[in-house]
Amino acid sequence: MPVQLWVSVVELGCFAGLIALGFFLVLRGADVFMFALGPLAMFGAMFGAFQVSRNGWPLPIAALIGVAIAVALSGLTELLIVRPIHRRTGGQENPSIVAIVAILFALEQLAGTLFGRTPLPGTPFWSAQFRWGEAVISGQSIVLVAVTVLAFAGVALWLRRSANGRMLRAVGDNEHAARTLGVPVDRIRLIAFCLAGLLAGVAGSLFAAKAGVSFTSGLQWTLVGFLAVIVGGLGNVWAPLVGAVLVATLQTWSVFEFGHAMRDYLTFAVAFLFFAFRPKGIFQTKVRI
């Protein structure tokens, strides 16, 4: 595989890792697979790209508002939809899944209606180009890598050191027990959703510069993040990143060797094999009893 493709692997890996970290946080904190994170990232990115390309807004402002919208939508999803349904059904998972899938489709179509159904170009934050051997590395990829490392390190520290982070793990492990112990479960769940929205928003606006963004990107992004979580597992904060890099390598390689269709077949095959043989991913949570 040419060196340049490895740069793509790193970019895609970092992006999928950020989305997967969002999944990880909501899974640990609220025990919900927030399938709508991909469309949230897409929605924020499309907002930014639309304002920059059509209305000439300065990039930082457009991107910032795009990210803020992703955070707000994620929080509202929990407050208005998931939490009431979760309460009413006593924690059954099916109604929550259906609601989240409905939000996924709604966000996709809403973005298509508001920002148009043609792909929009993303704008890089740092448009410098560096040559490194045969490969060309853009400033934007350096930003993406730096943000990813910072985000993972930040979340790892936050989960270990801060009171909220530790409570998040407690709520995810046993919501009922956490509530009995006086942990503010509602607040913790809301924090998990908002943080996930933040990660998705940032990831989307950074990645849009690479290949542009269209209203159908959301589902693809969700699926690649989902796969990263499946491969990586939930045992460690860094597990989603490991999973994401593996998935990115596989996807880039399969496109290079066999073309786009094979990527989707292989993606499904990998998910299927992991489900069948290692359903909890590479890094598994170990519980001492």
Partner 1 sequence: MTTRTTPVAARGTSPLARHRWAVEAVAAAVFALALVAYGSGASFRQDYVVLICTYSLLALGMYIPYIMSGSLSLAYNAYLGIGAYACGLISTRAGWSSLWGVPIGIVLSAAIAVVLGLATRRLTGFYLAGVTLLFAVAFQVFLLDRVSLTGGPVGMPVRRPHAFGYTFTRYDIMIGAVVLVWIVGLLLSRLRQSPFGVVVRLRKDVPQVVESSGISSGTIGVVSLAVGAAIGSVGGSLFGMMGGVAQPESFGLHIIFLAIFMPLLGGQRSPWGAVIGAVLVVVFTFELHILSDAGTLFFAIAILLVLRFAPLGLLGLGTPLLRLLTRLRMGRTPGGEGS
| Residues of this chain that bind partner 1 (CB under 8 A) | 32-33, 35, 80-81, 84-85, 88-89, 92-95, 97-99, 101-103, 105-106, 108-110, 112-113, 117, 219, 223, 226-227, 230, 260-261, 264-265, 267-268, 271-272, 275-276, 279
Minimum distance from CB of 84 to partner 1 (Å)? Answer: 6
- Tally of CB atoms within 10 A around 257: 10
Matching residue, tokens 């045969």: 134
Give whichever of 131 and 260 is closer to partner 1, judged by the CB atom.
Answer: 260
Task: For partner 1, give the closer residue by CB, 113 or 162.
Answer: 113
Backbone angles phi, psi at 138, to 5 degrees: -85, 155
**Closer CB to partner 1, 122 or 281, in the complex:** 281
* Backbone Cα Rg of the chain: 19
Closer Cβ to partner 1, 3 or 93, answer by number = 93
63 contact partners, CB below 8 Å, separation of at least 6: 48, 125, 205
Taking the complex as a whole, how short is the minimal distance between the CB of residue 109 and partner 1, in angstroms?
4
| Alpha-carbon torsion, ordered 20, 26, 27, 32, to 10 deg | -120
Nearer to partner 1, 14 or 228 (CB): 228
Q: How far is the CB of 9 from partner 1 (least distance, A)?
A: 20
CA of 90: how far to CAs of 83, 94, 129, in Å? 10, 11, 54
Q: Give the separation between CA 85 and CA 62, rounded to whole angstroms.
A: 33
- Provide the minimum distance between the beta carbon of 35 and partner 1 in the complex, in angstroms, as a whole number: 7
Least distance to partner 1 from the beta carbon of 266, Å?
9
Helix (H) or strand (E) holding 129: strand 129-132
Tell me how far apart the alpha carbons of residues 163 and 178 are, in angstroms, rounded to a whole number.
13
Is 48 or 281 the residue whose CB approaches partner 1 more closely? 281
CB of 172 to partner 1, least distance (A): 13
